[in-house]
């Protein structure tokens, strides 16, 4: 999946940065949910969006930074009835993104990770792009369509 | 995040409450394991009645307890998953190894019959 450049101008955006502490996972979800409320999503759409955000932010905290602490950046943009969420860390990066995207794959089995985080993201948003460079960090871009031509999707 | 752990007919019933994310899971895992040791891994029912959000961290918690229970020949069941969480359970394939019941009574019945 590749995100195409859209001709539509961004109608609204927000940026949030926070330290990679697990207590901020709920902050990230609630913030995105409040922001997305402008598109009048259904409860199901909102739950899916919150879950995908939770997975991406948890990955940044556990896998991106691990035992070290760094900054997680959360950006949201609304345009044409869709929300785009970008989660960026400047942590470890992923050696092999294709491998990481396989269901049940986990690099941290000792932490009881299920290996389903990216699979859940893929299923709960319409577009998912993961860009990563070992030693530099990871950028996860998700887009979810909430309305189509003013109608609920 | 809050849990209520009760022993019912020899089986440990853990009722989870709140939002079950990575942060929450880290705070309750040891409590559940301690209760399991105390009840000698006789059986485990996990109730999701009061969970309105969960992500893959919860799947990790469930699978970890399933592994522990299997090692001790104890049975385990899940119950009362609300519709908005159902999709995660179905996606994960977890229901192929763990039974899910509509009510706690049914889940208890299943675990006891083991």
Q: How crowded is residue B24: how many other Cβ atoms within 10 Å of its Cβ?
A: 27
DSSP B24-80: HHHHHHHHHHHHHHHTTT-EEEEEEEEEEEE-HHHHHHHHHHHHHHHHTT-EEEEE-
Nearest to B11 by CA among B68, B63, B57, B74: B74
- CB within 8 Å of chain B, chain A residues 53-112: 54-55, 58, 61-62, 111-112
The shortest C-alpha distance from B38 to chain A (Å) reads 22
Contact list in A for residue B65 (CB cut-off 8 A) is none
Q: Write down the mean pLDDT value for chain A.
A: 92
In chain B, the residue whose alpha carbon lies closest to the alpha carbon of A108 is B60
Contact list in A for residue B88 (CB cut-off 8 A) is 51, 120
The shortest C-alpha distance from B13 to chain A (Å) reads 21
Residues A143 and A71: their CA atoms lie apart, in Å, by: 22
Tokens of A96: 């092999």
Enzyme catalytic residues of A: 55, 59, 113
CB contact under 8 A, B55 and A113: no
Split at pLDDT 50, 70, 90, the class of A128 is very high
The parent domain of residue B96 ranges over 2-113
Name the maximum alpha-carbon separation found in chain A. Answer: 46
What is the ipTM metric for this complex? 0.93
Contact list in A for residue B59 (CB cut-off 8 A) is 114, 116
pTM of the model: 0.92
pLDDT digits (tens, 9 = 90+) for A97-125: 999 999 888 888 888 888 999 999 999 99
Q: Does A123 touch chain B (CB under 8 A)?
A: yes
Residues B60 and A29: their CA atoms lie apart, in Å, by: 20
Is-contact B91 B97, C-beta < 8 A? no
Residues B101 and B76: their CA atoms lie apart, in Å, by: 11
CB contact under 8 A, A61 and B84: no
CATH number at B30 reads: 3.30.750.24
Query: How far, CA to CA in Å, does A45 sit from each of A39, A49, A125, B19, B87?
Result: 11, 6, 9, 17, 12
Tokens of B17: 């409450």
pLDDT of A104 reads 86
For residue B56, give the nearest of A48, A61, A116 by CB distance: A116
Residues A147 and A78: their CA atoms lie apart, in Å, by: 11
The shortest C-alpha distance from B99 to chain A (Å) reads 18
pLDDT digits (tens, 9 = 90+) for A24-63: 999 999 999 999 999 999 999 999 999 999 999 999 999 9
Calculate ∠ Cα A98-A102-A107, nearest 5°.
85
Total tally of structural domains belonging to chain B: 1
pLDDT of B85 reads 92
- The percent of residues above 70 in pLDDT, for chain A, comes to 92
Residues A128-139 as b or e (16 or more Cβ within 10 Å = b): bebebeeeebbb
Contact list in A for residue B57 (CB cut-off 8 A) is 58, 113-114
In chain A, the residue whose alpha carbon lies closest to the alpha carbon of B65 is A112
Residues B10 and A142: their CA atoms lie apart, in Å, by: 46
Residues B95 and B2: their CA atoms lie apart, in Å, by: 24
For residue B88, give the nearest of A23, A29, A120 by CB distance: A120
How confident is the prediction along chain B (114 residues), in pLDDT tens digits per residue? 789 999 999 999 999 999 999 999 999 999 999 999 999 999 999 999 999 899 999 999 999 999 999 999 999 999 999 988 999 999 999 999 999 999 999 999 999 986
């Amino acid at each position: 999946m590749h995100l195409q450049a859209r001709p539509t101008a961004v109608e609204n955006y927000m940026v949030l940065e926070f330290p990679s502490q697990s207590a901020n996972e709920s902050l990230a979800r609630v913030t995105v949910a409040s922001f997305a409320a402008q598109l009048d999503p259904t409860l199901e759409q909102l739950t899916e969006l919150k879950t995908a955000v939770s997975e991406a932010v948890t990955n940044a905290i556990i896998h991106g930074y691990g035992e070290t602490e760094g900054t997680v950046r959360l950006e949201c943009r609304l345009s044409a009835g869709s929300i785009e969420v970008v989660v960026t860390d400047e942590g470890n990066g992923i050696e092999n993104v294709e491998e990481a995207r396989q269901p049940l794959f986990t690099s941290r089995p000792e932490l009881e990770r299920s290996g389903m985080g990216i699979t859940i993201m893929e299923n709960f948003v319409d577009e998912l792009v993961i860009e990563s460079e070992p030693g530099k960090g990871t950028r996860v871009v998700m887009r979810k369509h909430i309305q189509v031509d003013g109608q609920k999707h | 995040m809050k849990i209520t752990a009760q022993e019912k007919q020899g089986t440990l019933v853990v009722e989870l409450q709140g939002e079950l994310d990575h942060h929450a899971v880290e705070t309750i895992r040891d409590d559940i394991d301690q209760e399991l040791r105390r009840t000698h891994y006789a059986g485990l029912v996990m109730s999701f009645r009061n969970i309105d959000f969960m992500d893959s961290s919860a799947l990790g918690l469930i699978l970890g307890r399933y592994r522990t229970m299997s090692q001790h020949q104890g049975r385990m069941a899940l119950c009362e998953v609300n519709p908005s969480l159902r999709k995660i359970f179905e996606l994960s394939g977890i229901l192929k190894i763990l039974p899910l019941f509509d009510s706690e009574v049914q889940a208890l019945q299943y675990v006891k019959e083991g």
